[in-house]
Amino acid sequence: MVQRGPHRGLIFGIFLAPFHRAGDNPTLAIARDMDLISHLDALGYDEAWIGEHHSAGWELIASPELIIAAAAERTKNIRLGTGVTSLPYHHPFLVAQRFVQLDHMTKGRAMLGCGPGALTSDAYMLAIKAEDQRRRMGESLDAIMQLLKCEEPVTMKTDWFEMREARLHLAPYTDPHFPIAVASTQSPAGMQVAGKHGLGVLSLGAGLPGGVDALPAHWKIAEDEAAKYGKTMDRKGWRLVINMHCAEDDERALRDVAHGERQETVTYFEETLGRPPGRSQDPLREGVKAGNTLVGSPETVTKGIERMIAASKGGVGGVMFRAHEWANREDTFRSFELFARWVMPKFQGSLDTVIASRDWCRDNRGTIFAPNVKAIEKAYQDAGKALPEGYRSRLTGARDDSKS
**Which class for 358: exposed (0-12), middle (13-18), buried (19 or more C-beta within 10 A)?**
exposed
C-alpha span between 52 and 82 (Å, rounded): 8
- Assess whether pLDDT exceeds 80 at residue 129: yes
Pair 177, 144: CB distance under 8 Å = no
- pLDDT the model gives residue 238: 98
Place 389 in a pLDDT band, splitting at 50, 70 and 90.
confident
Which amino acid is located at 255 in the chain?
Answer: R
**Which class for 396: exposed (0-12), middle (13-18), buried (19 or more C-beta within 10 A)?**
middle
Q: Which of 264-268, 296-300, 367-371, 375-379 has the lowest mean pLDDT?
A: 367-371
Section 205-214 average pLDDT: 93
Angle between helices 250-264 and 329-342 (to 10 degrees): 130
Section 64-72 average pLDDT: 98
- Assess whether pLDDT exceeds 50 at residue 404: no
- pLDDT the model gives residue 325: 97
Q: Which residue has the higher pLDDT, 183 or 364?
A: 183
- Assess whether pLDDT exceeds 50 at residue 400: no
C-alpha span between 18 and 12 (Å, rounded): 17
- pLDDT the model gives residue 13: 98
Place 25 in a pLDDT band, splitting at 50, 70 and 90.
very high
- pLDDT the model gives residue 388: 82
Section 226-254 average pLDDT: 98
Angle between helices 329-342 and 26-43 (to 10 degrees): 20
User: How far out from the chain centre does Cα 278 lie?
Assistant: 26
- Assess whether pLDDT exceeds 60 at residue 57: yes
C-alpha span between 142 and 28 (Å, rounded): 38
Which pTM was predicted?
0.92
Place 70 in a pLDDT band, splitting at 50, 70 and 90.
very high
Count H helices, E strands: the chain? Answer: 15, 12
- Assess whether pLDDT exceeds 90 at residue 250: yes
Section 71-95 average pLDDT: 98
Give percent of the chain with pLDDT exceeding 90. 84
Q: Which of 165-169, 317-321, 378-382 has the lowest mean pLDDT?
A: 378-382
Q: Which residue has the higher pLDDT, 370 or 252?
A: 252
Place 396 in a pLDDT band, splitting at 50, 70 and 90.
low
Nearest Cα residue to 96 out of 160, 141, 29, 40: 141
- Assess whether pLDDT exceeds 60 at residue 403: no
β-partners of residue 296 are: 246
- pLDDT the model gives residue 373: 76
Q: Is 250 helix (H, G, I), strand (E, B) or coil?
A: helix
- Assess whether pLDDT exceeds 70 at residue 6: no
Place 402 in a pLDDT band, splitting at 50, 70 and 90.
very low
Pair 202, 84: CB distance under 8 Å = yes
Q: Which of 23-37, 136-150, 224-238, 349-363 has the lowest mean pLDDT?
A: 349-363
Residues sharing a CB contact under 8 Å with residue 64, sequence separation 6 or more, in sequence order: 50, 51, 52, 82, 83, 85
Section 99-128 average pLDDT: 98
